[in-house]
Amino acid sequence: MAQIIETSSQSFASVDVDLVTVDIIENALRNARYEMDAVLFRTAMSPGIREQHDEFPLIADHKGRMVVGQFGSFIGGFLDNYQGTVEEGDIFLTSDPYSCDGAISHANDWLVLMPIYLEGRIVGWAAMFGHMTDVGGKVPGSLPTDAESIFEEGVVIPPTKIYRRGVLNHEMLELILNQVRMKQWNRSDLNAIVAACRTAGRRVVELCGRFGTDVYISTLEQLLERNYRAMEQLILQTVSEERISFTDYLDDDGLGNGPYRIHCTMWREGNKVHLDFEGTDPQSEGPINFFLNVNMFKMFFGIYMIMVFDPQILWNDGFYPLVEVHIPERSLLRPAYPAALSCRTHGLGRIFDILGGLLGQRQPEFLCAAGFSSSPHLMYSGTDQAGEWFQLYQIGFGGIPGRPFGDGPDGHSLWPSFTNVPNEFLEAYFPLVIERYETVADSGGPGFFRGGNGIDIAYRFLEPGTISIHDDRWLTYPWGVNGGLPGARSTKYVIRTNGDTEVLPSKCDHVKVEVGDILHYVTWGGGGWGDPLDRAAELVALEVKRGLVTHEGAKRYGVVLDDHGAVVEPATESLRDEIRQQRGDLAVFDYGAPLDELKRRSMEETGLMAPRDPVFGAR
């Protein structure tokens, strides 16, 4: 456990704070959190952080509890595992998931933590992690799809004082950067993260100076307590004492094995919700293991509850005592060191589908369909004609699920801060041309609220190189709910210059591409919500006009259109009556087909061999 050094032994006094002051401090902290983002985006160099915003900041109280931010607090796991001192001016860096209880979940995430001191006492913490484009290892991008241990995935940094009492540890930094392919990007991104944390530190000190340290600390206690009370009511109103379970699958592990089962059971005891992952498959030999930090999952649960049931609540760590989480050791979600973690994004995404399947079973009108499902990645690297190394890391997006309150957006991230890399940026800085960037009509699952469409990005390569691909939902469907139909699956294929088409696995490395080859990176659609036959026919016709649904696809909603795209009302009524008579009762969950059938039809439908059943043994 860390030893915190403070030159003042004076304790903080608890004082009453009026609501206006609470509101001012809360909004000032929220602004400081967004200022952290702004500082980072203006000074980072890698497109993953600068353009796509693959980073997560937080500001915590003096005990390390997050007050504003994303992903929940990283501080507790760090303090429990760090065996050294914490002093004024120290800034810590780590990329080792096993040293911080999974607060970060793979080696590409560099986590910076900074204590905020005022007059000899810690008054708060600032922290942020960002995904580095490269941290060394066996493949460019450092996300090998065939890794069997973390040692293959690049440099892994234990908790380290990168600044000691305000002085940069140059030798340590140079040692770390010597392991990576894009040194200048890593250096700039790290400096940007440090600058963002220092910005937060200044804002906290300013608030303490303006209102008084005791008022500031007491306000944070009030904010945490307020969140506790709000979440307590949500849990009592929406979570049953009856045990409810849900199961979903990761399609494969990159080594040809799968699918892998993730299972969660939820129930309430008193005012506490219990989430138990017993029944989840053991850890994979491949890199799809997701070291799920308990506090991170509590935050996921809280965010999902709030966004579905009461979006006005502002979340923080205050509700954590109300959530009990059990994750079996040596399972897919709590692997044992040194299990590989480089493809953990698929498990991370599937956790949100699991939550969607759990939260609302008691009240189906609050169910969300499947849609986040994965986090598609593309890496493209090589040496151009000028002899310069280039390396692209890009996150793609699929369809957001249909929800109780509306359609899922097309080709969008579930993370509110993530954005697409502009095509102009890609073409300006990398040897490629974007030939196509469009939604895939009919890929969103039909429903009263339509699932978001996936997207098809066509990359034409201008230099020879290699690509790596990370994705999932190529075998299983993003399921629909309450009568909604599943979304379409993902697919990836290369059209070679000789006209041949090569279907690629959803997880692959070392795929050689030549000048003129075109990669089609097609993501999955979101599942639909509610009976598609209840969707307004005129709205379906409008979406056909906009290219989101095809004429043929409109018939899945029971809508018949003429050659000009107008609704043919008698034919529509007749078709809807016919579909209702043939389909029977609506299913709460529509998975498309049983898993065994999906595997049997895999080659015919996807062009890929079905994965082998995993064999689990002692490691």
Of residues 303 and 373, more confidence is placed in 303
Whether 619 shows a pLDDT value over 70: the answer reads: no
Confidence of residue 617 (pLDDT cuts 50, 70, 90): confident
Whether 215 shows a pLDDT value over 90: the answer reads: yes
User: What's the pLDDT score for residue 244?
Assistant: 95
User: What's the pLDDT score for residue 303?
Assistant: 82
Average pLDDT for 230-238: 91
User: What's the pLDDT score for residue 245?
Assistant: 96
pTM for the full model?
0.93
- Tens of pLDDT, residue by residue over 28-48, are 999 999 999 999 999 999 999
- Tens of pLDDT, residue by residue over 66-88, are 999 877 777 887 888 888 999 99
Whether 25 shows a pLDDT value over 90: the answer reads: yes
* Cβ 139 vs Cβ 468: under 8 Å: yes
- The encoded tokens of residue 358 equal 């759990």
Is the backbone peptide bond immediately before 259 cis, with ω within 30 degrees of 0?
Answer: yes
Average pLDDT for 567-582: 96
Domain locations in the chain?
A: 3-230, 368-531
Tell me the CA distances in angstroms from 619 to 149, 285, 615, 616, one per residue in order. 11, 9, 12, 9
Strand ranges (DSSP E) for 61-119?
66-69, 85-86, 91-94, 109-118
Question: Average pLDDT over the chain, rounded to whole?
Answer: 94
Tell me the CA distances in angstroms from 565 to 38, 155, 441, 544, 568, one per residue in order. 45, 57, 15, 7, 9
- Report how far residue 131's alpha carbon sits from residue 375's, in angstroms, rounded to the nearest whole number: 13
User: What's the pLDDT score for residue 416?
Assistant: 66
The three-class DSSP label of residue 429 is: helix
- Report how far residue 198's alpha carbon sits from residue 91's, in angstroms, rounded to the nearest whole number: 10
Residues of the chain above pLDDT 90, percent: 84
- Report how far residue 326's alpha carbon sits from residue 273's, in angstroms, rounded to the nearest whole number: 11
- The encoded tokens of residue 204 equal 């906290």
Average pLDDT for 13-25: 96
Confidence of residue 304 (pLDDT cuts 50, 70, 90): confident
